[in-house]
Chain A
Amino acid sequence: MFSDRLATLRTKDDVDALLGEIDAYRDSLYKTKGKVQIPPELDKLEETVKKLEVVQLTLAYEPSPQDIEVFFKAAGKILDISKDARILGGAVVSYQGKYSDYSLKKKLESYFFVSPPAFQASPS
């Protein structure tokens, strides 16, 4: 019953929800039937879900489900999305200890403050 959900997982929230549902289902089995044999598929699914790779994304806006679908396909991994309007646009990506800032804020700062051609003193 949960196997078809695996293909629909896009975000960390989806993963947490599914793991919560698995736990709740397992609890419900104990409560209603006492000592029961947990389907091995359930444990296997839980294990698979827990092993899914997650990429942290910081975005400047609240993405729509369609946008999330696009991002999931582009990243190929579960998305852990948070919002920070200060980055203005683009995304800050963090994955397995690697961090990279592809935000509009960062690009603007790089343009103006790292190599600011407009601010270079012209020879008099």
Chain B
Amino acid sequence: MVDYQLISVLALGVAMVGTISLYLKTKFDKKKIVAREEEIVAGAKRKAEKIMAEAQDRALRVLEEARLGAENRNKKLETRLDRIEEKEVREFKKTLGDVATSVEGEATAVVGQKIDEEVAKARIEIEKYKAQKLKQVDDTIGEIVKETVKKVLGKGITALEHKDLVVQALQEAKENHVL
């Protein structure tokens, strides 16, 4: 006779083993999935970290390049500014020199002209003074001479001598075509 009980037990046992196996398998699979998930997440994390690191490096490089570029530009700018400054200073010095030369020239010309004018004025004054003094001397001497002539000759000239002098004057006038 068939032992139904045994069969039932065996069937139950098989069922249980199957269930347990399925359970275990499921559990194993689940574990495997979790592990896979974890692996994927870890991979993604690593990738993300790598990307972040690369981005960070790139950002640092960009920043460094930017800094170097800025430094270069600053240096170039400083160099250009120095050149411009030097040029400006040279031009300023040149302009200053030109102006100084021009002013000096003008000043020299003005001073020279002023001196010439003063000398000319002084000469005129001297000439005037000279002429005035000579006139005074002339007048004085002329008066002395006239007075002397009047005293010595005026009274001494006779009417006859007067007449001869006048005749002589008229003859000279004729010779000179005054008459």
Of all chain A residues, the one with the shortest Cβ separation from B160 is A67
Cβ contacts under 8 Å, A76 to chain B: 179
Min C-beta distance of B130 to chain A, whole Å: 15
Cβ contacts under 8 Å, A22 to chain B: none
Question: Is the Cβ of A59 less than 8 Å from the Cβ of B162?
Answer: yes
The total of chain A residues at the interface (CB under 8 A) is: 33
Min C-beta distance of B44 to chain A, whole Å: 129
Question: Is the Cβ of B149 less than 8 Å from the Cβ of A88?
Answer: yes
Question: Is the Cβ of B170 less than 8 Å from the Cβ of A95?
Answer: no
If A57-B166, A67-B163 touch, does A88 touch B172 (CB 8 Å cutoff)? no
Cβ contacts under 8 Å, B176 to chain A: 100
Question: Is the Cβ of B146 less than 8 Å from the Cβ of A105?
Answer: yes
**Which of B138, B150, B165, B179 is close to A75, meaning CB atoms less than 8 Å apart?**
B179
Tier of interface size on chain B: 20 to 34
Question: Is the Cβ of A93 less than 8 Å from the Cβ of B173?
Answer: yes
B19 at the interface (CB under 8 A from A): no
B159 at the interface (CB under 8 A from A): yes
Question: Is the Cβ of A75 less than 8 Å from the Cβ of B170?
Answer: yes
B1 at the interface (CB under 8 A from A): no
Min C-beta distance of A110 to chain B, whole Å: 12
How far is it, in angstroms, between the C-alpha of A109 and the C-alpha of B145 when the chains are bound?
Answer: 9
Cβ contacts under 8 Å, A100 to chain B: 172-173, 176, 178
**Which of A63, A86, A88, A109 is close to B166, meaning CB atoms less than 8 Å apart?**
A63
Question: Is the Cβ of B145 less than 8 Å from the Cβ of A74?
Answer: no
Question: Is the Cβ of A61 less than 8 Å from the Cβ of B179?
Answer: no
A-B contact pairs, 16 of them (CB 8 A): A55-B179, A67-B163, A67-B166, A74-B167, A76-B179, A88-B153, A89-B153, A89-B162, A93-B169, A93-B178, A93-B179, A100-B173, A104-B165, A105-B146, A112-B145, A113-B142
**A-B residue pairs, 9 tightest by C-beta:** A102-B169, A91-B169, A74-B170, A93-B173, A100-B178, A90-B165, A89-B165, A91-B166, A67-B163
With A55-B179, A63-B162 given, can you name 17 additional A-B contacts, CB distance below 8 Å? A57-B170, A59-B162, A59-B166, A61-B159, A64-B159, A67-B163, A71-B163, A86-B146, A89-B157, A90-B165, A93-B170, A93-B179, A99-B178, A102-B172, A102-B173, A104-B165, A108-B146
**Residues of A that sit less than 8 Å from B by CB:** 55, 57, 59-61, 63-64, 67, 70-71, 74-77, 85-86, 88-91, 93, 95, 98-100, 102-105, 108-109, 112-113
